Amino acid sequence: MRPLRSGLPLDPLGSVIAILIGVALLAAPFVTYRANRIVSGEGRMLAEALPVLVAAAVFAVAFGAGLAAALIRNPLARLAAALVGLAAIFPAVGLSAVFLTPSGNSFARISPSVGFWLLTLSFALLAADSLTRLRLGPWARLAALATAFGAVALLLLSGAWDGLSILKEYATRSDSFWREARQHLFLALGSLAAACLVGLPLGMLCHRVRALRAGILQALNVIQTIPSIALFGLLMVPLGTLAAASPLAAGLGIRGIGAAPALLALFLYSLLPIVANTVLGLNQVPAVVVDAARGMGLSARQRLVQIEIPLSLPIILAGIRIVLVQNLGLATVAALIGGGGFGTFVFQGIGQSAIDLVLLGAIPTVALSFAAAIILDAATELAKGSA
C-alpha cells in the first residue's frame, strides 16, 4: 500500500514567489525617503509609508497573492492574483509619496525601494508564468503587451505617480527626455536597418558561395568579441580623421564623437546574428523542396524569393530579434561618446549620485527591450505558421 501524502501540494515556482513576497512585506523597505535628490535616504516599511488602512489592504492583497502563487495551479486564478497584486502596489507607491512628503516641501524625494521592486518582480514572474501555462498565441501575447503598456500609460497620465522622485526628474527634463528617446530609437533601429540591408544579401552570398562562408563569419566573430567601449574608441580616430579631411563628411554629421561612431559600432555588432541566421535558415530549407521548385522551371532568383526566403524567415527573424534587443541595450553606452540616447540620463545620474536619474534612463531601455522581444517572438511564430 502506498503511504498517504500529507500537506498541501506546493507549486515550486510559486513557493519561490511567495518567499520573495514575504521578504518584501516583512524585511524590506517599501520606499526610500530623502531630504533632497542626492543625499542618502532612509527606508520606510510598508506600514510606515502609507495610511494604516491602505497599508493593511496592500499587505492583505500581496499576502493573498503569495498564497495563491504557492497553492493554486490554475493559470487563470494565478494570473488574476498577479494582476490584483500589481493593481494594489502601483497606485500605493504613488500614494506613499503624497503621504510622506511634508506639506510645502519641494526638496524631499520619495523613491520606490527594495520592497516595492521585489513585489513588482514577484507579481511579474507570477503573471509571466501564468501566461506561459495558458499557452497564448502570438496575437493574444501582443494584446497582453498592449494592455500592460496601456495600463502603465493611464497610471502616468492620471498623475498618481507625480510625487515620486523619478517623475520629478522627468518633469524637469521632459523635453530632453523625448529628444534622447528619439535618438535612442534612431541608433537602435537605424543600425538594425543598415545591418539588414547589408547582412541579408551577405548571408545569401555565404549560402551560395561556401568558400566565402568561413572567412566572413570568422571576421564577424572577431568584431563581436571586441568590448563595446573599446569598439567605440577604435572608431573615433578614423571617423575624426575623415571629418577633418572631408568637409562633406563633416557636413553629413560624421565626426569622431557623437552618433556616427555609435551607429557604426552598433551596425558592426549587428552583422553576425543576421548573417549567421540567414545562412542557417537557408541551409535548413529541405533540398527536396528546392529540387521540386527547380523541376517546375523556377529560376534561381525565383526559388530564392518564392521558396527559400519564406521557409527560412522564422530563423532570420530570430536573428533580427537578437540584434534589436542587443542594440537597444548597447545604445545606452553610446552616451559615453556623445551619441545621446537614454544612456545620457544613466551616466548623468551616476555622476551626480542621483539614482532616480539613472532609473529615468534605465527603465525605458528595459521596457523597450522587453517589448521588442515579445513583438519579434510573435512575428517569428506567425512566420512559422505561414510557412
pLDDT digits 0-9 by tens, 142-185 = 999 999 999 999 999 998 999 999 999 999 898 899 999 999 99
Q: What percent of the chain has pLDDT over 90?
A: 61
Name the packing angle between helices 309-330 and 355-386 (round to 10°).
Answer: 180
Cβ 340 vs Cβ 259: under 8 Å: yes
More confident residue, 383 or 182: 182
Q: How far apart are CA 225 and CA 23, in angstroms?
A: 39
- In the sheet where 109-112 sits, what is the strand order? 42-44, 31-34, 109-112
Positions of E strands within 98-220: 109-112
Return the DSSP state at 101. S
- The pLDDT of residue 252: 63
Residue 206 is inside which H or E element, if any?
helix 174-208
The yes-or-no verdict on residue 20 having pLDDT over 60 is yes
The yes-or-no verdict on residue 304 having pLDDT over 70 is yes
- The pLDDT of residue 1: 43
- The pLDDT of residue 251: 66
Average pLDDT, the chain: 89
Residue type for position 370: F
- The pLDDT of residue 125: 94
- The pLDDT of residue 156: 92
Cβ 111 vs Cβ 349: under 8 Å: no
The yes-or-no verdict on residue 297 having pLDDT over 50 is yes
3-state DSSP assignment of residue 111: strand
Least confident among 53-62, 161-170, 282-291: 282-291
Least confident among 34-48, 139-153, 211-225, 336-350: 34-48
Cβ 18 vs Cβ 66: under 8 Å: yes
Cβ 119 vs Cβ 22: under 8 Å: no
The yes-or-no verdict on residue 264 having pLDDT over 60 is yes
- Rounded to 5 degrees, φ, ψ at 338 are 80, 20
Residue-by-residue DSSP string for 217-264: HHHHHHHHHS-HHHHHHHHHHHHHHHHHH-HHHHHTT--SSSHHHHHH
| CATH superfamily of the 174-386 domain | MetI-like (1.10.3720.10)
pLDDT digits 0-9 by tens, 96-119 = 999 998 887 778 889 999 999 999
Parts of the chain belonging to CATH 1.10.3720.10: 174-386
When computed from its CA atoms, the radius of gyration of the chain, rounded to whole angstroms, is 26
pTM above 0.85, yes or no: yes
Q: Which residue has the cell 507607491?
A: 93
C-alpha to C-alpha distances, 257 to 145, 153, 260, 266, 340, nearest whole angstrom: 36, 35, 7, 14, 11
Q: How far apart are CA 187 and CA 265, in angstroms?
A: 10
The yes-or-no verdict on residue 319 having pLDDT over 80 is yes
The yes-or-no verdict on residue 249 having pLDDT over 80 is no
Least confident among 129-133, 153-157, 217-221, 256-260: 256-260
- The pLDDT of residue 7: 55
The yes-or-no verdict on residue 271 having pLDDT over 90 is yes
